[in-house]
């Protein structure tokens, strides 16, 4: 296994378990303890995890820079994106939130007549060469770390527009506390996108579930669809929950789009 493959395996395993030991990684990867320690040291220096005595713990994904988030569960994000675009019809207008899961949706969109509104530069770049997609970039105050625009200008522009779908990512999703964000400005943009859209989809893998952040966005039932890769195990599963796994889709609702 190449170094990059080992690193991806470690990150995916950390996303599932939250912590790992050198011994279990050495057994899982079939490499020496010294190799695992070098891998963990390299990933720690890059900001992907926190190395501990005898292993490592995951960093909180919402507080990672977007370039780092891209390395967490990439195949899951691609599967979720494919499920999302099945709901979209030519001619519709989409609000695309920032985040790696929503970026995967943008990358998977076919080049058909659509209008896409976003405040995320990476999503705008991904769609900039699609001649049939009309792109609206909601500008404002540039956040270099998260690679998006935010602030009053961004919110005002979004509020002046309307969309068929808001396709949203999440910092955290909690059964009682709903969708929350780690940053007040991010929460404000998300609320504006939801208010300006007829329907909303949530794209959030299992690493976001069962957690909460300080800034409220909306209750989970606000979404007609929630695409994720594991059943959250809540007492009352949301009506729009769609669990996307390898080779199967589990759903609590029929298509509405």
| pLDDT, average across residues 168-188 | 93
Q: Tell me the per-residue pLDDT of 77-123, one tens digit each, with 9 for 90 and over.
A: 899 999 999 999 999 999 999 988 999 999 999 999 999 999 999 99
- Quote the pTM value: 0.74
What is the distance between the alpha carbons of residues 144 and 130, in angstroms, rounded to a whole number? 25
Higher pLDDT, 250 or 98: 98
pLDDT of residue 75: 80
**Strands laid side by side in the 197-203 sheet:** 133-137, 114-118, 93-96, 163-168, 197-203, 225-228, 241-245, 248-251
Of residues 214 and 208, more confidence is placed in 214
Does pLDDT of 67 surpass 60? no
Q: Residue 249: is its pLDDT beyond 50?
A: no
What is residue 229's predicted lDDT score, i.e. its pLDDT? 87
Q: What are phi and psi of 151, to 5 degrees?
A: 100, -175
């Amino acid at each position: 296994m190449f170094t990059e493959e080992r690193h991806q395996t470690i990150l995916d395993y950390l996303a599932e378990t939250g912590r790992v030991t050198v011994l279990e990684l050495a057994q899982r990867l079939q490499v020496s303890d010294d190799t695992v320690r070098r891998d963990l040291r390299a990933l720690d220096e890059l900001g992907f995890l926190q190395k501990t005595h005898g292993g490592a713990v995951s960093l909180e994904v919402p507080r990672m820079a977007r370039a780092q988030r891209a390395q967490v569960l990439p195949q899951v994000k691609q599967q979720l994106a494919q499920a999302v675009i099945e709901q979209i019809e030519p001619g519709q207008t989409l609000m695309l939130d920032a985040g790696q899961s929503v970026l995967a949706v943008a990358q998977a969109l076919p080049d058909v007549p659509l209008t896409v509104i976003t405040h995320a530069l990476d999503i705008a770049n991904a769609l900039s060469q699609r001649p049939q997609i009309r792109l609206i970039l909601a500008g404002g105050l540039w956040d270099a770390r998260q690679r998006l625009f935010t602030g009053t200008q961004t919110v005002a522009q979004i509020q002046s527009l309307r969309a068929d779908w808001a396709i949203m990512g999440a910092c955290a999703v909690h059964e009682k506390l709903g969708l929350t964000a780690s940053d007040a400005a991010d929460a404000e943009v998300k609320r504006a996108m939801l208010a300006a859209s007829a329907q909303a989809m949530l794209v959030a893998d299992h690493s976001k579930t069962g957690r909460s952040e300080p800034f409220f966005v909306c209750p989970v039932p606000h979404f007609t669809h929630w695409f994720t890769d594991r059943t959250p195990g809540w007492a009352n599963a949301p009506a729009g929950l769609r669990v996307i796994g390898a080779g199967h889709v589990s759903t609590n609702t029929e298509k509405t789009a």
